[in-house]
Amino acid sequence: MANKSSLGEVLKTNDLFAKKGLGQHFLLDLNLTSKIAKLGAISENDVVFEIGPGPGGLTRALLDGPAHKIIVIEKDPRFARHLRDYFADDMGRLIIIEGDALKISLSEILAEHGLTNYHGKIISNLPYNVGTALLVNWLHGIEAAWPMILMFQSEVATRICANVGQSAYGRLAILVAAKCDAHIALHVPRLAFTPPPKVESAVVVLSEKQVQFDDIAALGKVTAAAFGQRRKMLRSSLGQIGNALALCTAADIDPTKRAETLTPEQFFALANAYKATS
């Protein structure tokens, strides 16, 4: 497209209305999207993944940076079409994939495009309805690209970054703590989006931990049992997945404690004990 109209105009002209079912709340303010992009400290050695580019406000900011390639994955064919048109001049650096990010392996995409020598990063304003599922998928292993700069609803962002002793502390914070150091870098008000969602949002920066706990599957089992019955003592709640007392003894944890009082490291020890016995 030779003459670039503003994204808001393009949405109106092409009747690109937001679909609730796809979590579509758009960022059309390029000052804000460039602020988010800058959190990724992008260099020429980076390949940046953006999940759910929608109209392309964040994509524009990523293209303005030095990344070697920007790979976007969009489920809505209307927006995939719009992006191919709107960014026709940028196709040398932009790869547009139409599909469901929940079913797509980022490492396979890097391999398919001969980009495995580059450093992967993920920078996205995630669709709210699948944001947590995408993050948990990426934590499971080879999918992870670092850092991840991700926008969530504020409540989810708080749960991701919570520490033991805080009311938002739970399974998500522990799974995240296995792999990442996480902090909220930016609070984004509802009215920054078109259309505005019901709640505030926040951008979380998830960077790679030096020492990681890798068995997310075992950690998932142990935390599901412990937090599934969070008011019960571990000697009772862990009974669902094995001999609760033996697990606590092996992990050197008092079985009369409750899930929310255990540090992530204590959960890693429980996950190791569970793995050794199952």
Binding site residues, ligand SAM, CB under 6 A: 22-27, 51-55, 57-58, 73-76, 79, 100-102, 125, 127, 130
Say if CB 131 and CB 93 are below 8 A apart: no
Least distance in angstroms from the C-beta of 122 to ligand SAM? 12
Q: Which is nearer to ligand SAM, 16 or 273 (CB)?
A: 16
C-alpha separations of 187 from 133, 153, 183, 191, 202 in Å: 21, 10, 11, 12, 4
Least distance in angstroms from the C-beta of 34 to ligand SAM? 12
Position 244: which residue type? A
Least distance in angstroms from the C-beta of 150 to ligand SAM? 11
Q: Which is nearer to ligand SAM, 24 or 272 (CB)?
A: 24
DSSP assignment of 214-228, as one string? --HHHHHHHHHHHHH
Q: Which is nearer to ligand SAM, 26 or 213 (CB)?
A: 26
Q: Which is nearer to ligand SAM, 49 or 274 (CB)?
A: 49
In the chain, count H helices and then E strands: 12, 9
With CB atoms as reference, the residue minimizing the distance to ligand SAM is 52
Least distance in angstroms from the C-beta of 18 to ligand SAM? 8
Consecutive H or E run containing 180: strand 180-188
Least distance in angstroms from the C-beta of 33 to ligand SAM? 7
Q: Which is nearer to ligand SAM, 55 or 220 (CB)?
A: 55
